[in-house]
Amino acid sequence: MSHLRQLLEDSNEKIFTSEFPTIDGAGMPRVIALAQRFSPWFDAVNATDNPAAHAHASNTSVAIAMKAHGLEPIMQIACRDKNRLAIQADMMGASLHGIENLSLMTGDDVTAGDEPETKRVFDLDSAQAISIANSLNGGKYLSGRAVKPPTNFYIGAVENAAAPPLEYRVQRAVKKHRAGARFLQLQICYHPDRLENFCRGVASAAPQLHLLPTIVLLKGARQLHFMNDKVPGIDVPLNLISRVEKSLDQSEAAYELALEQARHALALPGVRGLHIADFRHDETLARLMHDLGRIPRTISNQLQEQL
């Protein structure tokens, strides 16, 4: 049974997930160094699937490497690049290597990436991909062909609480839950009122669905502008940006904003932890975790053997 499943289903502990940086060469030493950096703080970490429509080392290969180095993977699968055969193959390949946590998503459009001339696939949507993972858990491929023994996926998905149509977002989350999702990693949300309404709505309509809002660690106003202008589905209110922009110490102001967001999110109904995206790559991650009362876990045994 996956550690993440155990923590979310059988404990009340607050859990923390993150995103493994993309791998573009640099080989296993880089994976090992990153695993070392992530394992004290995170219960499980996403192995991404061509994030923002840029090609990188594949989701499955990175998930296998993470696992081998003592970091529990949550394997992302985006519907943008693969048809239903390839997605089921990804899932079965993951299962073969003992990877059980999935995070299934539609994926940013190809126009968000550096090869916008590519063909968009979107043969499945995220709700259908969730349902298919759930069928594999029930011992069947989509075709009905047997999977013996059945897979044991712990199925997650994503949702953007702040994107229009706002009232629809809760219904869509519930639909994903009906299809088989047990947890949702939420897109970063710079509208606390929207996040709150979403979490309250989900907590009352689907109390078993665990929510993990995202907190992003940024260096200052320039990165906030970037999020607002370039990342699909993210709106950063201008007064928030100028609050950081006008402060004497932008880096400190950006940190305070993230800490405020983290505390607010953790207090909302249905929220079981946080998903943390670190774009600062400095000591701020440790500071945030300390300020949230997270005690670093000892480096996992497997990793110690490697050192």
Partner 1 sequence: MIKILPFIEHAIKKPIWDCRMCGQCVLHSTGMTCPMTCPKTLRNGPCGGVREDGNCEVDPTMQCVWAKAFGRKESLPLPQSWRDHFNDLRPPVDMQLQGTSSWINLITKRDQQVPAGWQRNTRSDHGL
Instruction: Report the interface residues with partner 1, using CB under 8 A.
Output: 79-80, 84, 105-106, 108-109, 111-112, 120, 122-128, 131-132, 134-135, 138, 140-145, 158-160, 163-165, 167-168, 171-172, 174-175, 178-180, 187, 205, 232-233, 235
Q: How far is the CB of 142 from partner 1 (least distance, A)?
A: 4
Q: If you search the block for the tokens 């953007």, which residue do you land on?
A: 160
Q: How far is the CB of 118 from partner 1 (least distance, A)?
A: 13
Q: How far is the CB of 242 from partner 1 (least distance, A)?
A: 17
Nearer to partner 1, 30 or 175 (CB): 175
Q: Render 249-272 in DSSP notation, one character per residue.
A: -HHHHHHHHHHHHHHHHHTSTTB-
Q: How far apart are CA 179 and CA 182, in angstroms?
A: 9
Cα 160 to its chain centre, rounded Å, is 12
Smallest CA-to-CA distance from 192 within 290, 271, 278 is with 271
Nearer to partner 1, 111 or 304 (CB): 111
Nearer to partner 1, 147 or 259 (CB): 147
Q: How far is the CB of 168 from partner 1 (least distance, A)?
A: 5
Nearer to partner 1, 207 or 233 (CB): 233
Cα 103 to its chain centre, rounded Å, is 7
Given a contact cutoff of 8 angstroms between Cβ atoms, the answer to whether 290 and 255 are in contact is no
Nearer to partner 1, 2 or 214 (CB): 214
Given a contact cutoff of 8 angstroms between Cβ atoms, the answer to whether 75 and 113 are in contact is no
Q: How far is the CB of 127 from partner 1 (least distance, A)?
A: 4
Q: How far apart are CA 76 and CA 256, in angstroms?
A: 30
Q: How far is the CB of 243 from partner 1 (least distance, A)?
A: 19
Burial (CB < 10 A; 0-12, 13-18, 19+), residue 202, is buried
Nearer to partner 1, 204 or 298 (CB): 204
